[in-house]
Amino acid sequence: MANPTTPPNNAEKNAQKFFKKSEQSDTLAKRSRKKERSEHAAKTAKLRELRLAKETVDKAEADKQAVAKSEAMTDAQREKQRKRASVVKPPARIRMTY
């Protein structure tokens, strides 16, 4: 009985070689895509960390400026601001014609 792993004729040998090469190239392509995906994910994670750090610094700076602004506000300005907030205008009337 013939060995099932070795093809008996030349045409089958060539076909087997071709399929092995294509299988190897597929494996290589899969490895390279996987590597590219992992590199892209690492790059995205790094950029996300940098963005979050920048947002944290910007928020701290904005909070610091808001505190400085509120401390610099005089009592008269605070009273004026409170009055503006307490005045509520009635809604505008809408005339409807038929």
93 in any annotated domain: no
pLDDT at position 39: 96
How many whole angstroms separate alpha carbon 65 and alpha carbon 63? 5
92 in any annotated domain: no
Measured between alpha carbons, how far is residue 19 from residues 2, 23, 31, 36, 77 in Å?
21, 6, 18, 26, 83
Confidence at 7, pLDDT banded by 50, 70, 90:
low
pLDDT at position 10: 85
Average pLDDT of 62-88?
79
3 in any annotated domain: no
1 in any annotated domain: no
- pLDDT one-digit tens code per residue, 8-62: 788 888 888 888 888 888 888 899 999 999 999 999 999 999 999 999 999 999 9
Number of domains in the chain: 1
pLDDT at position 87: 66
pTM of the entire predicted model: 0.48
Paired tokens of 30 = 């899969």
88 in any annotated domain: no
How many whole angstroms separate alpha carbon 29 and alpha carbon 24? 9
87 in any annotated domain: no
Expressed as residue numbers, the domain containing 31 is 12-81
6 in any annotated domain: no
The structure tokens 């907030």 sit at: 85
Spatial contact of 17 and 25, defined as CB atoms under 8 Å apart: no
Angle at 79 between CA 78 and CA 83, to 5 degrees: 115
90 in any annotated domain: no
pLDDT at position 77: 79
pLDDT at position 52: 96
